[in-house]
Amino acid sequence: MDLTQSYPRSVHARWQGVVQLGRTIDKGKALAHGTIGEYHYNCPMDQAVFAFLGIEHEQLLAVIKRAQGEAEIEAFTRPFVAAKSAEEIARWNREWVAHEPETDGSRTAFFELRNAIAPDRTDVTAWADLLDLDEKRDVPRRTAKATV
């Protein structure tokens, strides 16, 4: 995975049914190979999926570094995913792709990026959609939220 030449998976993409996890793994692969570019492994979004699943980021990175293929990474993550009910995963997925900036600093960064890449997309209020826009993926238009 060379993130200096391509993008990681979308936040929306599911790894074993869980959003964000595939993107996190892509960043781990890139870090392991020295090709992470501007991305960050174990960023706050990665930390959220680690917390949800109970995965230690150092352990996952160690597995990624020694893995000969996706199957070994999947074998490591499978028990963590299996420990969650279908309802917990569905709730996580739904809430995570709708997750909006929570702090003043996060909101500032969010709006600066959105205004730089798509100032007309005031309907984009969630990080998952903003990252997709930034990475040149199609993001469906939604009814814009009223701002105060």
Task: For residue range 52-69, list pLDDT tens digits in order.
Answer: 999 999 999 999 999 999
pLDDT band of residue 31 (cuts 50, 70, 90) is very high
DSSP secondary structure, the chain, as one string: --TTTSPPPPTTSEETTEETHHHHHHHHHHHHTT--TT--TT-HHHHHHHHHHT--HHHHHHHHHH-SSHHHHHHHHHHHHHTS-HHHHHHHHHHHHT----SHHHHHHHHHHHHHH-TT-TT--SHHHHHHHHTT------PPPP--
pLDDT at 34 over 60: yes
pLDDT band of residue 148 (cuts 50, 70, 90) is very low
Instruction: Give the global pTM.
Output: 0.90
- How confident is the model at residue 147, as a pLDDT? 53
Task: For residue range 87-118, list pLDDT tens digits in order.
Answer: 999 999 999 999 999 889 999 999 999 999 99
pLDDT at 18 over 70: yes
pLDDT at 42 over 60: yes
